[in-house]
Amino acid sequence: MLVRLAEERATGVLVRDHGALYLADGQVVHAESPAAPGLDVLLATGGQLAPEGWQEAVARAGARREVARFLVDSGQVTGGALEICHLGALHDAAFFALGPGSGPTRFRYGVAHWIGTVRPVPAAAVVREARRRRGLLDSVWPHPEVDTAPLRRRPPGNGATATRRQRALLELADGVRTPSAIARAVGRPAFNTLIEVRRMAAAGLVETPSEPAASTPAPLPDWVAGFSADPDIALLRRLRDALEASL
């Protein structure tokens, strides 16, 4: 569907259970996912923007869908820093949105995100990068169940040594937080966190599930709530309920 929408030069939002891609003239201009930290988190973690600056931008420019422009024009973020962080957030969220098992796909024509356009990315490039990342994960540790299971560190003693970056993640590996939750807590891209988690699994630093974690149907994401009057959304809810009943 994404390829067809790109060929049509469509504008709108492609919605799946694990994320959404916003298109303008067939190019991807934004992506978001519950599994990936948003642009605001990445900007704040990198010291580029204070949280109150983001809140001000959304309050003053969100209705005009010009949050990105406001951040640059007000001098809170440089154009280059915004582009780099936005590109990272876009590919991070798109990785989850385009992943297998991400549920039914629907497209809403004419919908634009309130952040506005930063730098469009060809849809083919987004798909290609998502596939590259999935292949990279499998080359590190070909057991994707560690991506969604609560992370728990193994007791020391196997001789493996964690890197500084891995130690920061292990400090939060309490057996409750998943890799995505840890990524949000430390303000890092979720994909980067998954790479480290799989490296730690391969090194024996974290426990790994013996069986794939049961997949719990995700609730309808926040961005779907804005389309509650759309009959397709009612269909999505029925499909979700049917999936839950079948588990």
Count of other CB atoms within 10 angstroms of residue 180: 19
For 191, half-sphere exposure in the C-beta direction (CA atoms, 13 angstrom radius) is 23
For residue 74, which amino acid is it? S
Six-digit token string for 212: 């794939």
Residue 246 lies in a domain: no
Rounded to 5 degrees, what are φ and ψ at 23?
-115, 145
Q: What local confidence, expressed as pLDDT, does residue 215 receive?
A: 44
The CA distances from residue 131 to 99, 120, 179, 194, 197, in Å, are 9, 19, 20, 15, 19
Asked if residue 190 and residue 230 are part of one domain, the reply reads no
Number of domains making up the chain: 2
Q: What local confidence, expressed as pLDDT, does residue 240 receive?
A: 53
Residue 92 lies in a domain: yes
Asked if residue 144 and residue 66 are part of one domain, the reply reads no
Higher pLDDT, 155 or 110: 110
Answer yes or no: is pLDDT of 216 > 90: no
Asked if residue 122 and residue 8 are part of one domain, the reply reads yes
Asked if residue 188 and residue 95 are part of one domain, the reply reads no
Asked if residue 180 and residue 118 are part of one domain, the reply reads no
Higher pLDDT, 1 or 9: 9
Six-digit token string for 180: 């995505």
Asked if residue 141 and residue 125 are part of one domain, the reply reads no
Residue 211 lies in a domain: no
**What mean pLDDT comes out for the span 219-239?**
46
Asked if residue 20 and residue 60 are part of one domain, the reply reads yes
Q: Work out the pLDDT band at 210, boundaries 50, 70, 90.
A: low
- How far apart, in whole angstroms, are the C-alpha atoms of residue 108 and residue 230? 9
Q: What local confidence, expressed as pLDDT, does residue 62 receive?
A: 95
Specify the range with the lowest mean pLDDT, choosing from 79-83, 148-152, 206-210, 219-223.
Answer: 219-223
Percent over 70 (pLDDT), the chain: 83
Asked if residue 42 and residue 86 are part of one domain, the reply reads yes
Asked if residue 194 and residue 167 are part of one domain, the reply reads yes
Residue 106 lies in a domain: yes
Count of other CB atoms within 10 angstroms of residue 75: 8
Place of tokens 């983001």: 54
Residue 91 lies in a domain: yes
Asked if residue 154 and residue 104 are part of one domain, the reply reads no
Q: Work out the pLDDT band at 236, boundaries 50, 70, 90.
A: very low
DSSP 8-state assignment for residue 146: G
Contact assessment for residue 48 and residue 85, using Cβ atoms and an 8 Å cutoff:
yes
Strand 19-24 relative to strand 27-32: parallel, antiparallel, unpaired?
antiparallel
What's the mean per-residue pLDDT of the chain?
86
Asked if residue 23 and residue 89 are part of one domain, the reply reads yes
- How far apart, in whole angstroms, are the C-alpha atoms of residue 237 and residue 219? 9
Asked if residue 102 and residue 28 are part of one domain, the reply reads yes
**What mean pLDDT comes out for the span 138-164?**
89
Q: What local confidence, expressed as pLDDT, does residue 209 receive?
A: 80
Integer-rounded Cα radius of gyration of the chain: 19
pLDDT digits (tens, 9 = 90+) for 66-120: 999 999 999 999 999 999 999 999 999 999 999 987 678 999 999 999 999 999 9
pTM for this prediction:
0.81
Q: What local confidence, expressed as pLDDT, does residue 246 receive?
A: 44
The parent domain of residue 179 ranges over 137-203
